[in-house]
């Protein structure tokens, strides 16, 4: 495929210059359909990524979109940051791009130290721990569960040999991570749990579970459910701080606090999977800080490095000491570590967490106002700069309306706002997650487009 010329810089406004999809994006889409698995990019709007700057992304046809996806929650510092691009250019120029996990590079231990410095002081046990630098979120989930099981075994509790996870969870697609997830479509047909994983209900107060007599579960009912878990055989509980793939579902604070207290009482390790929730995304540097809980193991990914692959497990020091060999070929690759270092420094120096809290509060207010205007908008959930818009047939029945959600995403694309295909267990939740550099004015442009697309979808 020939490439279109790249003129100047990425525009800092929406600018659609071809019919959509443009010819290059359409050609890429059909190339992908021929040669890639169906769930990689298919089912999404046909957007061929060329480059990005801040909250704007340009496709291979030269159209500029406002990005409410952050490249699926990775570009927390914004796209195409000059400081990062300059660092990569310098490393390429100086022939620094090499790889060997067996030897040190100047960036990986420095990144581990910086990560430990970002852990809040109130988490004393975690803060004095260690950072294990890896490559993908699934890998962090595999490792955190393995580390928890090994620690229980090593410290005289071999009977604590299973993990508890949540219905509706998504923790990745490698064997253990897949089965830790609680979404049928992700686990069906993939064999036995590795390791032994038991799922408990997510405390959903929007569509609560029902008692045998039809009464809906209350928060107290869900909390009572925690007490019924068999602590004696449980090594660890793993959860996402908010459930991402299930539709940006937020845990009630009281529930997570009760879960953390139960874990402490029963010698069960708390694994917090913040594969997508950290690095300022929710208006706190780590999302678990909203709940004042203390993870024993913390899984990190996505926004940690923005544009190159890197992930990490932060662990209590004694849990690390219980392990055997810990390494991975690409873990802490020199390029990824250098980019992650720059990324985290930018997040801190530019106070992007604070911006996420401020602009997120503005977006939450605007979305709440839309609830009153659109009958298909069942509920809006927002924490900092991650949100979910529940699209339903009507507010009373709360029946998921994936077709309308799909129409909204496509309508937004046609107007220059980039969203990913609807998420959620009913395929009906629109995920809103702009880069953390977004301004209120830019957020307003996107919300106005969403408002118009919703009105059109209602017909
Ligand atoms: C919470 C969470 N954990 C784990 C993963 C898996 O990460 P990866 O796709 O990098 O393996 C994801 C990916 O979306 C995630 O959101």
Contact 194, 179 (CB under 8 A): yes
Residue-averaged pLDDT of the chain:
95
Query: Measuring from atom 13 of ligand 1, which residue has the nearest CA?
Result: 172
Model pLDDT for residues 300-340, shown as the tens digit of each residue: 999 999 989 999 999 999 999 999 999 999 999 999 999 99
Does residue 1 have a pLDDT over 90? no
Task: Kindly give the pairing relationship between strand 130-134 and strand 311-315.
Answer: antiparallel
Distance (Å) of CA 429 to CA 69, 250, 341, 424 = 13, 13, 33, 5
Contact 438, 359 (CB under 8 A): yes
Q: Domains of the chain: which residue ranges?
A: 23-67+352-458, 93-349
Closest-CA residue to 446 (of 67, 120, 132): 67
Beta pairing partners, 423: 429
Of the chain, the percentage scoring pLDDT greater than 70 comes to 98
Beta-carbon neighbour count of residue 75 at 10 Å? 27
Nearest ligand 1 atom to alpha carbon 244: 16
Ligand 1 pocket (Cβ < 6 Å) reads 136-138, 141, 170-172, 240, 244, 273, 275-276, 301
Q: What would the mean pLDDT of 386-396 be, rounded to a whole number?
A: 97
Nearest ligand 1 atom to alpha carbon 141: 4
Model pLDDT for residues 257-314, shown as the tens digit of each residue: 999 999 999 999 999 999 999 999 999 999 999 999 999 999 999 999 998 999 999 9
Q: What angle do CA 424, 426, 432 make, to 5 degrees?
A: 30
Beta pairing partners, 312: 133, 300
Cα of 243 from ligand 1 centre, angstroms:
11
Nearest ligand 1 atom to alpha carbon 174: 11
Tell me the pLDDT band of 43, cut-offs 50, 70 and 90: confident
| Mutational pocket test of ligand 1: of 250, 272, 274, 276, the residue with most ligand atoms within 8 Å of the beta carbon | 276
Distance (Å) of CA 257 to CA 109, 252, 263 = 33, 9, 10
Q: For domain 93-349, which CATH number applies: 3.40.640.10, 1.10.3720.10, 3.20.20.30, 3.30.750.24?
A: 3.40.640.10
| Mutational pocket test of ligand 1: of 301, 383, 420, the residue with most ligand atoms within 8 Å of the beta carbon | 301
Domains 23-67+352-458 and 93-349 share a fold: no
Nearest ligand 1 atom to alpha carbon 72: 14
Q: What angle do CA 114, 69, 110 make, to 5 degrees?
A: 10
Q: What would the mean pLDDT of 355-380 be, rounded to a whole number?
A: 97
Cα of 459 from ligand 1 centre, angstroms:
36
- C-alpha 19: how far from chain center: 32
Q: What angle do CA 286, 287, 289 make, to 5 degrees?
A: 75
- C-alpha 237: how far from chain center: 19
Cα of 299 from ligand 1 centre, angstroms:
9
Of the chain, the percentage scoring pLDDT greater than 90 comes to 91
CA atoms lying within 13 Å on the CB side of residue 307: 22
pLDDT at 7: 55
- Topology classification of domain 23-67+352-458: 3.90.1150
Beta pairing partners, 133: 312
Two structure tokens written together for 276: 């997508």
Q: What would the mean pLDDT of 182-195 be, rounded to a whole number?
A: 81
Model pLDDT for residues 158-181, shown as the tens digit of each residue: 999 999 999 999 999 999 898 899
Contact 456, 415 (CB under 8 A): no
What is the model's pTM?
0.96
pLDDT at 261: 98
């Amino acid at each position: 495929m020939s490439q279109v010329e790249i003129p100047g810089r990425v525009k800092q406004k929406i600018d659609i210059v071809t019919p959509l999809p443009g010819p290059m994006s359409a050609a890429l889409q059909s190339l992908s359909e021929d040669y890639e698995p169906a769930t990689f990019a298919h089912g999404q709007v046909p957007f061929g990524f060329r480059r990005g700057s801040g909250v704007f992304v340009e496709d291979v046809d030269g159209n500029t979109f406002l990005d409410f996806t952050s490249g699926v929650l990775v570009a927390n510092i914004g796209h195409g940051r000059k400081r990062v691009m300059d660092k990569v250019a310098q490393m390429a120029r100086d022939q620094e791009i090499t790889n060997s996990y067996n030897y040190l590079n100047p960036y990986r231990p420095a990144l581990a130290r910086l990560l430990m410095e970002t852990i809040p002081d109130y988490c004393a046990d975690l803060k004095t721990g260690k950072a294990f630098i890896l490559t993908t979120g699934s890998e962090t989930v595999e490792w955190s569960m393995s580390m928890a099981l090994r620690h229980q075994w090593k410290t005289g509790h071999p009977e604590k040999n299973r993990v508890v996870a949540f219905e509706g969870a998504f923790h990745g697609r490698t064997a253990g991570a897949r089965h830790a997830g609680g979404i049928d479509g992700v686990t069906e047909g993939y064999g036995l749990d590795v390791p032994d994983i038991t799922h408990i209900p997510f405390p959903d107060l929007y569509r609560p579970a029902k008692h045998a007599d039809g009464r809906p579960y209350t928060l107290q009912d869900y909390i009572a459910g925690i007490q019924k878990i068999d602590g004696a055989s449980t090594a660890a509980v793993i959860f996402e701080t908010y459930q991402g793939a299930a539709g940006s579902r937020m845990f009630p604070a009281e529930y997570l606090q009760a879960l953390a207290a139960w874990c402490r009482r029963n010698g069960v390790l708390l694994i917090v999977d913040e594969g997508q929730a950290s690095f300022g995304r929710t208006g706190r540097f780590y999302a678990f800080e909203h709940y004042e809980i203390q993870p024993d193991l913390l899984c990190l990914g996505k926004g940690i490095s923005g544009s190159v692959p890197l992930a990490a497990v932060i662990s209590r020091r004694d849990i690390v000491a219980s392990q055997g060999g810990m390494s991975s070929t690409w873990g802490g690759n020199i390029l990824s570590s250098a980019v992650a270092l720059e990324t985290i420094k930018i997040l801190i120096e530019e106070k992007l967490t604070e911006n996420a809290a401020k602009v997120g509060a503005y977006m939450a207010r605007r979305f709440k106002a839309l609830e009153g205007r659109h009958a298909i908008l069942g509920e809006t959930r927002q924490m900092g700069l991650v949100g979910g818009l529940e699209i339903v047939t009507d507010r009373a029945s709360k029946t998921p309306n994936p077709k309308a959600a799909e129409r909204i995403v496509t309508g937004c694309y046609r107007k220059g706002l980039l969203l990913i295909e609807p998420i959620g267990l009913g395929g009906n939740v629109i995920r809103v997650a702009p880069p953390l550099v977004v301004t209120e004015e830019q957020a307003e442009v996107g919300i106005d487009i969403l408002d118009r697309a919703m009105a059109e979808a209602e017909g």
